[in-house]
């Protein structure tokens, strides 16, 4: 990391060879990232081109998912898995809607901020996808996260390529070990996949026999089994196994899309307004969007609790220092209000309510990112009752 104009940034310096010029992967990454503005995609601030180097200036994010999992062996807390997966899907949905494939999903390419934000990074292998799909190189995606269609030589793929990697990362976060850690070659990697999902045939995967590297006699014939038999911790989390199975489909067209996955029942216990968070943070709009939510919420809240407040006013009129603390969780999260902000309601006197909004500034070393966080006040409003 470097300080540039008082801001901490990350520099990706690419040495240019005089004979070869600028690497194509660097050109691809820069051209794609300059057009992507999303809170779950690493932000490219600037590009500096000199005779010797090409420097990409990124926002600084202090760790990645691989390092995070190394510091929390045995699998992450289920709440953190859910938050990370949701953010990963939001980022992928954003780029897939713009016909962009990442093509190199792995924990090392998912950055984690000190407030728990996940950001897609390293778009060196990414590319814009035209419709219908064209033929692309099959030399993409780190082997452990590479889907079977690519391993078998398919060069005709779509956004479903990325969704296989999502499934592998999802299982790795829950189980604490890689889903398919091949140790030898492509053949070994495919054997590990088929051992769990079953060896494909034309009935289960139409067109598999036409793939360049598919030789039926070279694979052991396995029957598919439940994912929890291979990764037992999937059975401890509601709907996790079903969602993982929708990602880990050998037949590419059967894989769940990022947009559809965001609506899966696995995420049903997330805060109800989390789906409405805007793509880019805009803290200047926090007060305005919050005020609208507060007005609506307080009208409903006070109508149901009027009797309670009347009793409090009569019994505590001499106790102006009363501070009854009532936590109001995520209903105040809305457009313009990031998930790291929380609203709390205080009865500051018998005749007024004080609403304060706090921003989480705590560390990720707690058992869950949602608990034991330090807070700072970013907005305060007093409402007379």
**Positions marked active-site:** 104
370 token code pair:
């949602």
Helical ranges in 178-269 per DSSP H: 186-197, 227-230, 240-247, 258-261
369's tokens: 């990112």
Is residue 348 within 8 A of residue 367, CB to CB? The reply is no
Give which of 64, 265, 36 is closest to 169, Cα–Cα.
Answer: 64
Scanning the chain, the segments in alpha helix (DSSP H) are 24-33, 65-71, 78-96, 148-151, 160-175, 186-197, 227-230, 240-247, 258-261, 286-315
Q: State residue 308 phi and psi, 5-degree precision.
A: -65, -45
Residue for token digits 């901490």?
8
Residue of 308, 338, 304, 344 whose CA lies nearest to 326 = 344
Question: Quick check: helix, strand or coil at residue 344?
Answer: strand
Nearest to 65 by CA among 28, 101, 5, 117: 117
Q: What whole-number distance in Å separates Cα of residue 150 and Cα of residue 203?
A: 19
Buried b (16+ CB within 10 A) or exposed e, 86-95: bbbbbbbbbb
């Amino acid at each position: 990391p470097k300080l540039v104009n008082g801001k901490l940034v990350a520099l990706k310096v690419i040495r240019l060879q005089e004979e070869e010029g600028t690497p194509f992967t660097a050109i691809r990454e820069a051209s794609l990232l300059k057009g992507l503005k999303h809170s779950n995609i690493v932000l490219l601030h600037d590009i500096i081109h000199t005779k010797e180097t090409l420097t990409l200036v990124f926002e600084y994010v202090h760790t990645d998912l691989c390092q995070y999992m190394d510091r929390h062996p045995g699998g992450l807390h289920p709440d953190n898995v859910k938050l990370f997966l949701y953010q990963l899907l939001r980022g992928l949905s954003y780029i897939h809607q713009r016909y962009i494939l990442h093509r190199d999903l792995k924990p090392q390419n998912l950055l984690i901020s000190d407030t728990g934000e996940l950001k897609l990074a390293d778009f060196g292998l990414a590319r814009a996808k035209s419709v219908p799909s064209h033929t692309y190189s099959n030399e993409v995606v780190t082997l452990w996260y590479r889907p079977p269609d690519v391993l078998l030589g398919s060069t005709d793929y779509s956004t479903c390529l990325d969704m296989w990697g999502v499934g592998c990362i999802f299982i790795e976060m829950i189980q604490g070990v890689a889903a398919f850690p091949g140790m030898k070659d492509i053949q070994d990697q495919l054997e590990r996949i088929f051992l769990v999902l079953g060896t494909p045939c034309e009935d289960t995967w139409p067109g598999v026999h036409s793939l360049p590297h598919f030789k039926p006699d070279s694979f052991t014939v396995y029957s598919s089994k439940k994912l929890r038999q291979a990764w037992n911790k999937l059975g401890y989390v509601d709907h996790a196994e079903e969602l993982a199975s929708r990602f880990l489909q050998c037949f590419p067209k059967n894989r769940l899309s990022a947009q559809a996955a965001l609506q899966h029942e696995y995420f049903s216990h997330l805060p109800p307004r989390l789906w409405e968070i805007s793509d880019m943070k805009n803290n200047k709009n926090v007060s305005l969007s919050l005020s609208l939510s507060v007005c609506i919420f307080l009208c409903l809240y006070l109508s149901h609790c009027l009797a309670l407040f009347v009793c409090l006013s009569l019994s505590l009129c001499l106790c102006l220092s009363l501070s009854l603390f009532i936590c109001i969780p995520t209903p105040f999260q809305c457009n313009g209000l990031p998930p790291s902000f929380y609203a709390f309601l205080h009865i500051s006197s018998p005749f007024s309510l004080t609403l304060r909004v706090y921003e989480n500034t705590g560390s990720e070393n707690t058992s869950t990112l949602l608990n034991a966080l330090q807070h700072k006040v970013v907005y305060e409003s007093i409402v007379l009752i």
